[in-house]
Amino acid sequence: MKNIQLRLKDSEKTVETFDVADGELLIIEAQRGINYELFNTLSGMAPQNIITKRIDQDLLIILDESEGGGSPEEIIPDIVIRDYYGEARGEEGSNDATGVLVGLHNNGKYYAYVPESSDPNNAVSVLEDNMAEPQAIGGNEVADGTFMPWWALYGAVALFVLTSDHWDSSDETVSDADTIVYSATLADTDAGTGYDTLKLDDSKEIELNLDNVSSKVKNIEEINMEDTSTVGDKLTIDAQDVLDMTDADNKLFIKGDASDEVELDNSAGKWEKGMSDQDGYTMYTSQNGVTLYIDTDVTNIILSTTIV
């Protein structure tokens, strides 16, 4: 049982809900003025990762990434939205274009699905025919998941991946949803609004103390250590780092896997483990008013012995 619903939302409410049955293909027609929300009825949130593919004017959605292996021709979809790229789309600047795929993140906010590659040419709404692309929650925030035209969500800056090659000055301000790739030459960057991620290079082992980064990067919601290989990363973090790097919510999510290690430094405020209110994350809080969520796949969590 996939426990997934496809919810169609206009600018005010959910207008229709479809259950995605295990082993059955859900086929619907694209509608104008609609966003398409993916919702997991067990977790109460969206599936974090999916695969999308365009065939002619239709959008195919694969819910289980493991089913998306091999060539695009071998992909078996769970959902087909017919004519998603067809006449119903309208032109940029109109009010009736087909909307985008959105979902509820574990921070309680709605976001668009954006390419894992961070390349705007791989966005769902602009896929080329016969093109398949992994997508993840992390685009612009969408109020209550309700309808917003695709071009309002998929601006180039919203999918811009910042590396050292892109920084022409020592102080950059970006906006919407950004993925900032960590490098030794990291420049001062304010990620601005949206759900923003600091990504560690998954092709090499990185040992990073956030004391060396927190003064450079502002308004980050997530640090991603996930690797495509068995190479692990080590992250050292204290409560002041979270205060410095996050927005007024002072909440930071850390994604990783079993090969990664997180050391919680108590020198700026004692970390206390609590009952997590986010599925898939272990929660730590500090008397400084910060909250840290660590992916439950990260099992090597070290509490330093230095207590303030």
Residue bearing tokens 């997180």:
262
Kind and range of the H or E run holding 245? helix 239-245
| 193-202 residue pLDDT tens | 778 888 886 6
Residue bearing tokens 């999510």:
253
Residue 47 sits at the vertex; the CA angle it makes with 43 and 132, to the nearest 5 degrees, is: 170
Alpha-carbon separation of residue 20 from 6, 27, 51 (angstroms): 7, 10, 15
Question: For position 228, what pLDDT does the model report?
Answer: 59
CA-CA-CA-CA torsion sign (243, 153, 162, 283): positive
**What are the domain boundaries of the chain?**
4-155, 160-303
Average pLDDT (239-259) is: 91
Q: What is the mean pLDDT of the chain?
A: 77
- Paired strand residues for 62: 51
What is the edge-to-edge ordering of all strands in the sheet holding 217-218?
171-173, 188-190, 217-218
Percent of the chain residues past pLDDT 70, beyond the cut: 74
> b/e per residue, 200-236, with b = 16+ CB within 10 A?
bebeeebebebbebbebbbbbbbbbbbbeeeebbbbb
Instruction: Give the integer Cα–Cα distance in Å for 60 and 127.
Output: 11
| 149-174 residue pLDDT tens | 444 454 433 333 333 333 333 344 44
158: phi then psi, degrees, rounded to nearest 5: -70, -20
Looking at per-residue pLDDT, the higher value among 65 and 111 belongs to 111
| 36-81 residue pLDDT tens | 999 999 989 999 889 999 998 899 999 875 544 445 556 689 999 9
Q: Is 273 exposed, middle or buried (0-12, 13-18, 19+ CB in 10 A)?
A: middle
Average pLDDT (222-251) is: 86
